[in-house]
Copies of this chain bind each other. A is one copy, B any other.
Amino acid sequence: MKSRAMVLEAFNQPLVMREFDIQPLAEGELLVKIEAAGVCGSDVHMQKGEDPRTPLPIILGHEGVGRIVAMNGARKTVNGETLAEGDLILWTRGMACNHCYACAVLLEPWLCQDRKTYGINRTSSQPPYLNGCYSEYVTLLNSVDIYKAAADIDPAVLVSASCSGATIAHAFDHHAPKLGDTVLVQGPGPLGLYAIMYAKKLGASRVIVIGGSGNRLEICRDFGADVILNRNTTSVEERRQAILDLTYGRGVDMAIEAVGHPSAVQEGLKLVRSGGAYLSVGFSQPPGECQVDFFKEVVSKNLKIQGVWVSSNRHTQHALSMVQSQPELFAKMITHRFPLAEANAALQSMAQRDALKAVLIP
């Protein structure tokens, strides 16, 4: 039995379609038919060689939803359900080692230095080869943590739960709003949409979004944004004044940076009230330094800044729970669908920001 997959063999070159022999399953392994594979903004950076974790050759794709087609021995989900062939499943894309200081002592597996992640740092040159989701099939190791998806859900809608959804779940795990709080979201991409939903689901009474793309800002309203501030039609000072006007002159209670650019940090810190929190989530690569006036923006405001890096099982579970509560809404995030062979076009749609979220349907 064979599986076709789109492989990155050289940086800055198109992915190429390759065929792999499917290996016999070791004990506890699953063979999964990919039903939908998310195309993530970070895949674009990986193709360009900007992410130092990337080995070559690699089957990209760290956001997968699929159906079990073969098993070797009994397996259970994280919730203890017995798995069977035919089940539609989602999994935690990164496997922490469970035994290092971060995993075992800190209980913060997102900090594990030995985290192995499908489609990110596992090459297709080593068995079982099918180690990414831009593929017809993926082989899930014994140590992958698995969740059952609702049988009738559109798989494409779920893919982002395991990446941007889980990352935002991680952010709110560090700091949650209080009932009635005003939350600012910077950046209306997939991370930002999740941030809007999380803020509302966790009790914020008002979410303000700053972004530049009219289309995306409209979708933000569907996700629950109450106030939209368009970067292209307002000045920094106008936005600051608008936010003060909405918050008794205080600034927002918390902000989530989902942009990844120093200018966003520099604007955002000034918009949070004294004693508030600033969660920085959007940086997936080094874009230069931020200028921060520590006296004015951090110390005298008693501000908390929290960096947020990747996620863990815990967050996949939280995100999956949220997506499954409103699948029709999350369907709006999926603006583009491509067959597997058009993975390069899918990457381009993300690079050019035509797509809010592209999904491959192998």
Q: Which residues of A contact B (CB under 8 A)?
A: 78-81, 92, 98-102, 104-111, 143, 145, 169, 172-174, 176, 178-180, 198, 201-203, 205, 248-250, 260, 262, 265, 274-275, 280-309, 312-314, 317-322, 325
Contact = CB atoms under 8 A, between A and B. Distances in A.
Contact of A106 (B172, B289, B290, B314): B314
Given A180-B317, A298-B307, A289 B286 contact: no
Copies of this chain, complex-wide, total 4
Contacts of A202: 179, 202-203
A55 to B, nearest CB: 19
A250 B300 contact: no
Contacts of A250: 101
A313 to B, nearest CB: 4
A321 B180 contact: yes
Contacts of A309: 274, 299-302
B307 A303 contact: yes
A294 B265 contact: yes
A63 B71 CA distance: 39
Nearest to A297: B307
24 contacts: A80-B249, A99-B145, A102-B274, A105-B314, A105-B317, A107-B312, A108-B275, A111-B302, A169-B179, A172-B179, A179-B198, A179-B202, A179-B318, A202-B202, A274-B309, A281-B299, A282-B299, A283-B299, A286-B295, A287-B295, A289-B292, A300-B307, A303-B307, A304-B307
